[in-house]
Structure formats: C-alpha cells, structure tokens
Chains A and B, each alone.
Chain A
C-alpha cells in the first residue's frame, strides 16, 4: 500500500500530537493547582487532543485535492549543501566571530549555488559584511558581538 506524502506528514503530526499530549499530562503543577479549573496543563492538553483529532481526520478522510511534487525537479544537492553550510556557520559564529564566519558563509553559499565570478563573490562577502557591520554597529548603534574583531582591536 502506497501512502501519500500528505498522509505521511499527517501521520508524523499524529505521533507528535500523542507525544505532546503525553508530555502535557506530565507537566508538574503546584499541588494547590492540581484540581484548579485551569492550570499549566489545561491548554496543552486541549491542543494535544486537537492535534490528534485533526491529524486522524486527515489520515482517515480521502484526499480531494492531492499535492503532486515531481522529485526530479527538486534540487536536493544544492539545498543539502546550503543547509550544511548554514549549520557550520551556526556552529562557528561564536568561536570565530560574526565578521569572518558570515563572510565565509556568504562566499561558500555563492559557490555552492554555482557562482564562479570570484571578484564579485569576494565583494559581496567580505566588504559587504564589513559595510553592513559598520551600518549596524557604527551608525545605528546596534551592538554586534564579535570577539575576534574585539581581540584585534577593530571593534570597541
């Protein structure tokens, strides 16, 4: 039996709702609040049941409008590269600072999306980020934490 992607997503949502409901019933409330008409559990419990009912209906009822996605037309390679680059960016931003990590992220993203004009790629990464940082930090006075630039004395 082939399950449609929409029904599969609904099934995942059903599992999420059951887990959410289970966690909601296990929220620790104060003893005096246990039998109150409303406590920290009440709203999540309603939501858990709503999620279970809606996702079950979606699974059970036949689909009137089917969403067809042609996987041959989806660019999995580029998106996986982009997500990996983003995850590395998130992992190193605190360690190597905003300026270097962001500039490298932009440069790598341009590259993985097929750009090969090195000069333009450079301008739209390092000088662009520097100008953006100047706009935020220098002109708008919005604090931008960058331990590296602080260490080398560029930022105060």
Chain B
C-alpha cells in the first residue's frame, strides 16, 4: 500500500497535475456556486477538455472540479440561500442565517474548514478501505454484479425521487433503453437505429450528460425565469465580514467534525445515497447530539448546524468513490459521469484497476486530498472575489452554458446530427424536470446499461437460461434481498403517506 501511495503522490504532485487540481477546484467552485449548476454539470462540461490529457490528469481535473463544485454550492447556499446543489441545501439552514447576521465571511470559513476536515478524514478512510474492498470484490461474479447494479439503480431511484419512486424507476428504464441504441456488443447486430448510420455506434455518453444536465439545466433556468420563487436573488456582496473563527467556534467544530465525517463517508459508500442524504442525516444527528441550549440555536446560525452538513457532504464525496474504484459501479450520479469519462479513456474501473492501473487508482485518491488542501488555501482568501461571480446575469450565463455544451459535442464528432439529438433530448429532459422526473437515475442507468446487459448475458448463459442465478449464490441473494427491502420500504412509505 505504501508503494501505491508513493506512486499516487508522485503522479499527483507532478506540476501538470497540481495545476489541474488548482484549475479544477477553481472552475468547480465557480460553476458549483451558480444556482442550478452542480458537480455533475461541472464535470460534464470538463469531459471534452479532459480528452486531450492522459487518464490520470483528466481524472485529477475532474476530482478537483467535483470538490470545487461542492464547496461552490455551499457558498451560494450561505450567501444567497440558493443552494447550487442538493447536497448543500442543509448548509443553508444555518449558513444563511449566519450571513444575515453579518457573519457571512465566518460562515464561509466554517464551511471551508469543515469541508477540509471532512474530506481529509474520509480520504484517509478511502485510503484504507479501497484496497481491502478491491480484494473482496474480486470474489464477485457476473450474477453478483448484475444484482449489485439492480441495487444501485433501485437505491438511486429511492433516494433521488423525493417520494416519487415510480417516476425515478421510469427514468432508470429510459436510461437503459437509450443505452441499447446502436450495435449489440457481442453480435454486432444494430438495434433501434432505424437505419440511421449516425446511431450505429450508439448515443454518446457525453451527449446524454450534456443534454440532461448542462443544457436542460440552462433551459430550466430560462423557463422558470418569471417564477418569483425561483428567480436567483442578486445581493450586494461587498460586506462579508471577518473570516476568522474564534476558539469557542473551533471547539464546537472539533466535536462535530469526527462524527459527521464517519457518517458522511459511510452514507457515501452506499450506492445511490451520496452527499444530499449524508448532509441531512448529519444535520439531524448533530441536532440530537448537542445540548438543549445549542439545540435552540439550530436554524438561527448554529456553528454545529453549519459544520455538520458541510463535513458530511464532503466526506460522502470521498465515500462515493469507493464503489466506483473498487467495483466499477458508481454510487451517485456524479460518479456515474466520472465512470463514463473513465470508459472514454479506455479504463474499466473495478477490482482489477488496483492491479492493472495502480497509478490511476492511487493518484485519484491522493489528488482528492491535494484538492482539499488547494480548496482551503486557494479558495478561502479568494472568497470575497469569487462570490462576485454570483452577480453574473443569466443573460450571459445561459448562452455560455449552451455554447460549452454544443462545443463539447462538436469536438467529439464534428457532426450536426449529434447536436440536433442533444437539443431534442435537452428539451424533453427540461419538461421531465419540470414535473419532477429525476435525471440522476437516467444517467446512472445509461452508464450501467452496457455492463448490465453483459453481466445478464453471462449469467443467463452460465445458468442455461434459467433464472436460478438470482438465488444460487449467497452474495447475489443478499444483494437482491436488500433491493427488495428498498422497494418494499418505498411501497410501505407511499401507503403510510396515503393513510
């Protein structure tokens, strides 16, 4: 392991990669700060650029963007009460009241320190857990992988559906349907192309991500432009106050950070959960832990209430890399986008990544930590300046997002069919979003579609077409039972709401 860490460090500490982490953190912070744009959009916009780099550098850039976007989301939560991403909604509960009390600088500093501490602790967990889990996951066979993918898709539907599980499951099926377009990987038979040559290679992953996130996000902002509840608030950002944190506040943070880090990491590891669930759970847990006097301060600018979700959402980001790097199965929409990018580089994440490409495996882990340091050193002093980006009018912002989306697709294919297809999918996605059909399950399903079909193919061929493979192996059975429990719980909670 020490050798691996050294390999990772030497790769991550090269001049180019340090520069990439810095650029990634900075760009991610700016994009994440803009209401409506989150890490998935930020990473999606970076994908075409990363194709010019080697895989380690590309991934390091994306990891930097990921952390930067999460931190940027906190900034808009605290300053505007307009979370850039769902994972920072809980940050606004106490961060925004603190900013209203004239302590915006302090709130941003607490968020930055908590993010750094949460990220650091979880990076250590990742360092220890990932290699051991890689070894365990080598025991996984095709039926187990198939069951695990079903679990991942069910879990992300359960967690991202806001109580509308069926809608999320429909998005899963739609994502899988889109993944079947093009040539079948084994027989080379073309499916669902309707004799259109442009579809023979299937629909590009970047196209789907750009359409369902970057472009539809931009169109949604315009679409809802007249909505008085949703229009981005523009505030004066000249007075942020001091960014110094006093001794009493440091002691409070020191109590909150360890427990929120552990919770955040464990939630992040679970398929489908991620930063949003982690931050809400950490906020709730912290409220139960503190004394009665502190409890009264929750929602009014509590240090515990701000530190807990910030620590947990960053810890969950690191945690979500565990299933991606060890099993090749993304735990969240954002890591699904990263999986797509990895596949674009010709790298198949999974237990063997640790053995076949140790430099990538370790450099991603090490660059996460470097990303945390960069975020703290680079972003904290720059907060007053970065915050001014929130004043960029949407009249300029939206066309620029559309421009980056179209350029990303144009660079890949130099084909206008793909641009038309992207616009079409983006329009459909905009309407689906309007009626709360979630997009992360669609992306995860699209990314996993090919792998899922492959594992199902192998499982059915081994079992000679019998469905016995679903319960022959204990691991498969356990994973499927967990899936059934999640579905059962969703049905139960729906009926409970009804009654």
Contact = CB atoms under 8 A, between A and B. Distances in A.
B481 to A, nearest CB: 20
B255 interface: no
Interface residues of A, number: 69
A57 B165 CA distance: 11
A36 B177 CA distance: 22
B420 A67 contact: no
Contacts of B463: 37
A86 B461 CA distance: 46
B130 to A, nearest CB: 31
Contacts of B393: 115
A81 B176 CA distance: 32
B423 A142 contact: no
A1 B226 CA distance: 30
A61 B166 contact: yes
Interface string A109-146: 11001110000000010000000100010001110110
A151 B94 CA distance: 58
Interface string B89-119: 0000000000000000000000000000000
A13 interface: yes
B173 A17 contact: yes
A2 B407 CA distance: 42
B127 interface: no
Contacts of A36: 461
B237 interface: no
Contact of B396 (A74, A124, A144): A124
Contacts of A113: 222, 394-395, 398-399
B289 interface: no
Interface stretch (B72-80, B333-341, B411-419): B411-419
A40 B189 CA distance: 7
A37 B465 contact: yes
B169 A67 contact: no
A14 to B, nearest CB: 10
B191 interface: yes
A106 to B, nearest CB: 5
B345 interface: no
B52 to A, nearest CB: 5
Given A29-B189, A78-B222, A90 B394 contact: no
Interface string B431-448: 110111100000000000
A37 B460 CA distance: 6
A79 B169 CA distance: 28
A121 B166 CA distance: 44
A145 B407 CA distance: 11
Contacts of A106: 399-400, 403
B494 A6 contact: no
A20 B191 CA distance: 10
A119 to B, nearest CB: 13
B192 A30 contact: no
B435 A87 contact: no
A69 interface: yes
A76 B52 CA distance: 38
Contact of B420 (A43, A64, A87): A87
A28 to B, nearest CB: 7
B163 interface: yes
26 contacts: A6-B167, A9-B437, A17-B173, A29-B189, A30-B189, A33-B187, A37-B464, A38-B460, A38-B461, A40-B184, A43-B452, A58-B170, A64-B163, A64-B498, A65-B162, A65-B163, A65-B164, A73-B224, A78-B222, A79-B222, A82-B222, A82-B398, A93-B416, A109-B402, A115-B395, A145-B414
Given A75-B225, A142-B48, 12 more contacts: A9-B437, A10-B170, A23-B192, A39-B187, A43-B452, A44-B192, A50-B173, A51-B177, A67-B435, A105-B402, A106-B399, A141-B52
6 closest Cβ contacts across the A-B interface?
A: A37-B465, A109-B399, A90-B419, A73-B227, A40-B184, A113-B395
